[in-house]
Every structure is written in C-alpha cells, then in structure tokens.
Amino acid sequence: VDDLEVAGRRVLVRSDLNVPLEDGRITDDGRIRASVPTIKSITDRGGRAVVLAHLGRPKGAPDPKYSLQPVADRLAELLGSPVRFASDVVGESAQQAVAALQDGEVALLENVRFEPGETKGDADLARRMAALGDVYVGDAFGAVHRAHSSVSGIPALLEHASGYLVVSELEVLQKLTMDPERPYVVVLGGSKVSDKLAVITSLLGLVDKLLIGGGMCFTFLKAQGHEVGDSLLEEDQLDAVRGMLATAAERGVELLLPTDVVVADDVSETASTQVVAADAIPAGWKGLDIGPESVRAFAAALADARTVFWNGPMGVFELAPFAQGTLGVAKAVASSGAFTVVGGGDSAAAVRQFGLDDEFSHISTGGGASLEYLEGRQLPGVTALQS
C-alpha cells in the first residue's frame, strides 16, 4: 500500500471486519483494530478509503443481524474520525457515499455477502464494485483463501497492492514454513479431525512435536483402540488417523495425545463433571476438555520450543468448567520464550478472553487462511495481489 499513489483517489480496501456479535454488540474487535493501520495509511496521504468487508454467512441477501452498521460505529471510534456508512454494496447508497467522500475520508459499504454473486466470484459484481474505486488494496487476510468477487475479482480489474495486515501475516507464515527455529512444536485443537487432515499431513514433514487436544483428539484415541464414551468422534476418519500415527512414528515426530480428560454428562455450565483417564472414558459421558495431567505434559513439551504454532482450543473454553485446558496451554505457549503464533479463529478469541493477547509473538486474523497456507495451497486472494 505504501507504493500506491492514493492522494485524491478512491481506494477500495477489502478489510477483514468479520467480528463476533451478540445482540448487535461486538464482543471482540481484534479484526477491526488490525484493519486500522492500512486504512489510516490511505487517509493520512489524502486517499478516499472505500472499505469493503463481510460479516458472518448471510445467504446472499440483506439480513439485519449481519449488518456492518455496528462495525462502522466501532471503526469510526478507532480511527477517531467519522465513517460514512452505505446501506448497500453497489447500489444507490454506496454510489452516493463514495461520491460524497473528500480526501482523507472513509466510507464503509454494507456486507458484501448480501450480494448473491460475492461468494460465487461473480465477474459482473466485481466490475460493479471496481467502478466505485480507482485502485484496490487487499487487506482481508481472513478471506484470502476464498475466490470471492471482492477478494480475487476486483484486483484483476484495478491497479492493486497488499495492505499491511496481509503482508505481516504472510511474513509470519513464511517463517513457520521456510526455516523455523527448532524445536518446532505445533498444538492443534478444535472439534474435527476432518478440518485439519491436510494441515497435519503437511506438518508431519516439518515439525518436531505435534500436540493434539480438543474434540479431534477423541478420533485419535479411538484409532488407538480406546473407548471414548459419547465424545465427539469421526468414525470415517479413523483409517486416516491411523495412517498419521504411523507417519509420525516413521518420521520421529513426537505426537502427544491427552492422558486425562474432563468429562461431563452435558455441554453446560451446570453439568456434572469428572476427570478420568483418556483411555477409560465411561459410556454416556462426553470429553469436553483436556485434563490437568495433560496440561502439564503439554507444557513440558512446549518448554524448550523455539517456534510454536497453535490452532484450535483444547476444549469448550466458552464454558467455565471446560476452559482450564485451553487456559493452561495458552499460558504454556506464552511463557515458552519461543516465536509463538496463534492461528486465528477460536484460539485467538480464547487468548483475548484470557487477557493474554500481548504475550504472543503474533495472533493471526485468519484461521482458515493460515491453515490452508500451511497445507501448501494457493490462496486466491494472495495470487490475485501478486499478479
């Protein structure tokens, strides 16, 4: 973005403003904060910033609960200047908001996913959006793995550049894949093995230790022949997981699974809970967090790390009875003295919930995008910015 001539020009900025909302209130503004430096770089140099973004997954039509209006209000607070808000994406409101912009001002257009063509990568929609700007800046790292109109369509039509956020995210991910300082430890959690199959396969050729918690660990435990009660289980992934366990052993990768888990009879704050051995989960009980012994083992495995990548919580951290595993691992990663990267999504939310966000080297704004990068896949939004 520093290389673009922006003074007096309309600069379309695709930002990642996809924040969690509860009753119209933003519960974590991390992504909005991360978008501010690029927008300010444009307005400080006399550019007219026209911000495009999505929120949630509306069904290609306007839906009040996914409106970016609360985001516009918060963005204005963070910028310390007004933000014009358009109630549509390429319609009359958007055209008027952009036409009214003066040098150094900002407009935010309504949720791009209210347009049915956005997620289909519709070329006509890309042309209509491009008509609102003179140049384009791609800064939505959390969406660069999507071939959407506002992500990969517009840069094919306008002079373009990367925003600060995209540049910094890619620099960090290159550090994780090109020549990481060793020992390199990866901590993976979250609910499904199927979401992480490709990244685990890729990482087994790169890491020294792989620590697995969250709902996905039960498919690993089952693959080893253990009973997992009513815990989350992907039966159709058992063979794939057995293959991964064999590959880890062949390559000398230390693969750690929980040795104890917190089980409950229900997923609620008031559920009955107990800590049991991971190979002895009783029928009718669900594993919802890793146990204290597992936290200690994971912390010991992290103690000598020089590089750590963490993606996915260790349990249902949003509920107090099942938050200790994620908190314990977060503290262990933060205190390891390593180069530490949290891979977006729920892990980033957990780190902020625990007030530990300043303790990590980098908190990614894009969970899916960072995983796909680590899988070695082409990211359409990055490819478009590089061409």
Q: Phi/psi of residue 46, each to 5°?
A: 85, 15
Token pair listed for 182: 């060793």
Q: How many CB atoms lie within 10 A of CB 340?
A: 22
Query: Is residue 368 annotated as part of the catalytic site, yes or no?
Result: yes
- Active-site residue 127, yes or no? no
The yes-or-no answer on residue 113 being catalytic is: no
Dihedral of alpha carbons 261, 195, 350, 316, sign = negative
Q: Closest by alpha carbon to 341, among 314, 325, 360?
A: 360
Catalytic residue among 33, 192, 296, 331: 192
Q: Can 175 be counted among the known catalytic residues? A: no
Q: Which of 190, 215, 345, 366 is catalytic?
A: 345
Preceding omega of 20 cis (within 30 degrees of 0): no
Q: What DSSP string runs through 14-58?
A: E------EETTEES--HHHHHHHHHHHHHHHTT-EEEEE---S--
Name the active-site residue from 31, 40, 74, 222: 31
Burial of 349 (0-12, 13-18, 19+ CB in 10 A): buried
Residue 277: CB atoms within 10 Å: 13
Distance in angstroms (rounded) separating the CA atoms of residues 291 and 322: 9
Catalytic residue among 213, 312, 368, 381: 368
Positions marked active-site: 31, 192, 345, 368
